[in-house]
A = this chain, B = another copy of it.
Amino acid sequence: MAATSRDLPPLYRQWAEHYRQAIAKGALSAGQRMPSVRELMQRHAISLSTALQILRTLEAEGCLEARPRVGYFVCSPAAVNLGEATDPDPRMPVSQLDGKEFVGINERISLWLEQGRLADVRIDLGSAMPAPELFDGATLNRHGAALLREFPDILVQGHSRPGTHPVFQAAMARRALDAGVQVAPQEVMATLGNSEAVNLALSAVAERGDVIAVESPTFYGLLQAVEAQNLRALEIPSSARTGISLEALELAVQQEPRLKAVVVVPHLQMPHGAVMPDEHKARLVDFCVRHQLALIEDDIYREFLDSPQPPRPLKAWDRHGQVIYCVSFNKTVAPGLRQGWMNGGRWHTRIHMLKFAKTRNMQVWAQLLTARTVEAAAHERHLRRLRQALRQQRERSVQAVARYFPVGTRLSVPAGGLSLWIELPPGASSSRLFEQALALGIRVAPGPMFSNTGRYERFVRLSCGLPFSAEVEAAYVTLGRLVQAMLDQDPLQRVAA
């Protein structure tokens, strides 16, 4: 299928990219004056607002700086190379864990996670979680204590009917309705965040050796879950603009008779941040119905989207129970509760029993606390503040990447969320960056964690969950230097120089 005009990015983004490349290639060099708004309008036959957006975008990314009453000037995006990076010295060398412990749970990812866990991390840019101060801990604790007063038996009530508390079910069904999704309250099942939900969904729809279509790149936890269940992950290219490639999925279903399910994060895909257009959503649901594939929707980041109109989940297009819908409040309400829920579509009864066989249910206090918190008026205000704080942290992080990382570094700025998916210049290795940074107390998530193909060796995911302090900025400086040092050592780069 040829790309249509609808698939192109907006005009201002195309021109911003044009100038970004000009700066990267040195056609516009540091300190040089950028064309003015008027010049841009004339040169490219664009509107005033488009010209302004170009300049603001480049400024937000740290490519330009505004000098009052003079105009915009090109910044120096490249780091000053202060010498070679310190040798890695992780607390637990990989050699001590030979991976045999992790057979079937993706040895490579498990080793990285275990290394990161055992290291002495000062600045964690590796985990996609907002900092504690971005949550509304005071309100949560107040509601939590009130529940303990109101329901003396809340922690000691055993439940003869394993399941989910009706108050939680009703609250979740109402919220789903607000998002355009119709779910009967009794078909809301509480889960331990989305990890458990996606694991249960996979158990319910596939058996050993079956194939699961995942996005590429995708969240490493999904690759672990697929492998831990003796399933095979088939990586379908996913665009940072529109998400999973429907064309590639069509091919996959023809070539792979054991394909049983598709797993997608439709809103702010992890790691690259794509938001799937509505038209794609409709086509994807229709495709899964036609081919009898379970469509597992991990809708964990929807509320992080900077959008006046919150998007509708895939589940809103589901008329056949084909979509298994998974929601989590882990990153918006309270990581300490791990409260999520799911609706299993036509696999719901089976999923319910699998849940019973694996972890049982009924942490009623956490369910009621989540329901009460998200139904309070203060919750929408909290979400707005959270989005705003993350927007600022993302912008500062984008600027830091532009300023401190070597020329040739690229990233697509996501429309919300917690992470940046950064492409390093040729010659850089994010696996090495991971090890070198960890030895300096900085944790990052190297690109190869997000795929089984080794395809993202030049990518790194950095979390914007931390307030952008001087220490965080210093970490970006360090990371930039580590990357620059790799380029300096790269024989191809040396030959070119």
Residue A354 lies at the interface, judged by CB distance under 8 Å to chain B? yes
How many copies make up the complex? 2
- The interface-forming segment of A65-73, A195-203, A318-326 is A195-203
- The interface-forming segment of A27-35, A150-158, A259-267, A469-477 is A150-158
Separation of A207 and B195 alpha carbons in the complex (Å): 21
Residue A248 lies at the interface, judged by CB distance under 8 Å to chain B? no
Separation of A161 and B438 alpha carbons in the complex (Å): 13
Minimum CB–CB distance for A305 against chain B, Å: 20
Separation of A470 and B193 alpha carbons in the complex (Å): 42
Q: Are A137 and B152 in contact (CB under 8 A)?
A: yes
Separation of A483 and B434 alpha carbons in the complex (Å): 68
Q: Which of B137, B163, B208, B349 contacts A153 (CB 8 A)?
A: B137
Residue of B nearest to A159 (CB): B335
Q: Which of B138, B148, B358, B362 contacts A152 (CB 8 A)?
A: B138
Q: Are B141 and A149 in contact (CB under 8 A)?
A: yes
Contact residues of A between 112 and 168, Cβ < 8 Å to B = 113-114, 116-117, 121, 124, 126-127, 129-132, 135-138, 140-141, 144-145, 148-149, 152-163
Tell me which residues across on chain B come within 8 A of A337, comparing CB atoms: 155, 363, 365
Q: Which of B152, B162, B228 contacts A203 (CB 8 A)?
A: B228
Taking each of A101, A116, A162, A193, which has the highest tally of chain B beta carbons within 10 Å of its own beta carbon?
A101
Q: Are A156 and B127 in contact (CB under 8 A)?
A: no
One digit per residue, 1 when the CB lies within 8 angstroms of any chain B CB and 0 when it does not, for chain A 307-350 equals 00000000000000000000000000011111000000001011
Separation of A125 and B65 alpha carbons in the complex (Å): 73
Residue of B nearest to A148 (CB): B141
Separation of A336 and B138 alpha carbons in the complex (Å): 23
Q: Are A195 and B156 in contact (CB under 8 A)?
A: no
Contact residues of A between 223 and 247, Cβ < 8 Å to B = 224-225, 228, 230
Residue A411 lies at the interface, judged by CB distance under 8 Å to chain B? no
Residue A105 lies at the interface, judged by CB distance under 8 Å to chain B? yes
Separation of A48 and B160 alpha carbons in the complex (Å): 45
Q: Are A127 and B160 in contact (CB under 8 A)?
A: yes
Tell me which residues across on chain B come within 8 A of A152, comparing CB atoms: 137-138, 141
Tell me which residues across on chain B come within 8 A of A294, comparing CB atoms: none
One digit per residue, 1 when the CB lies within 8 angstroms of any chain B CB and 0 when it does not, for chain A 358-370 equals 1110111110000
Tell me which residues across on chain B come within 8 A of A159, comparing CB atoms: 335
Tell me which residues across on chain B come within 8 A of A148, comparing CB atoms: 141, 144-145
Residue of B nearest to A121 (CB): B160
Minimum CB–CB distance for A230 against chain B, Å: 6
Tell me which residues across on chain B come within 8 A of A349, comparing CB atoms: 97, 101, 114
Residue A41 lies at the interface, judged by CB distance under 8 Å to chain B? no
Minimum CB–CB distance for A166 against chain B, Å: 14
Q: Are A359 and B359 in contact (CB under 8 A)?
A: yes
Contact residues of A between 271 and 330, Cβ < 8 Å to B = none
Given contacts A141-B149, A144-B155, A337-B155, are A114 and B358 in contact (CB under 8 A)? no
Contact residues of A between 444 and 474, Cβ < 8 Å to B = 465
Question: Would you give 19 A-B contacts (Cβ < 8 Å), ordered by A?
Answer: A97-B349, A113-B353, A113-B356, A121-B161, A137-B152, A137-B153, A137-B155, A140-B155, A141-B152, A141-B155, A145-B148, A155-B336, A192-B192, A192-B360, A193-B360, A208-B208, A208-B230, A228-B358, A363-B363
Q: A199-B358, A221-B357, A228-B358 are in contact. List 8 more A-B contacts (CB 8 A).
A: A97-B349, A105-B350, A105-B357, A137-B152, A137-B155, A144-B145, A225-B358, A228-B354
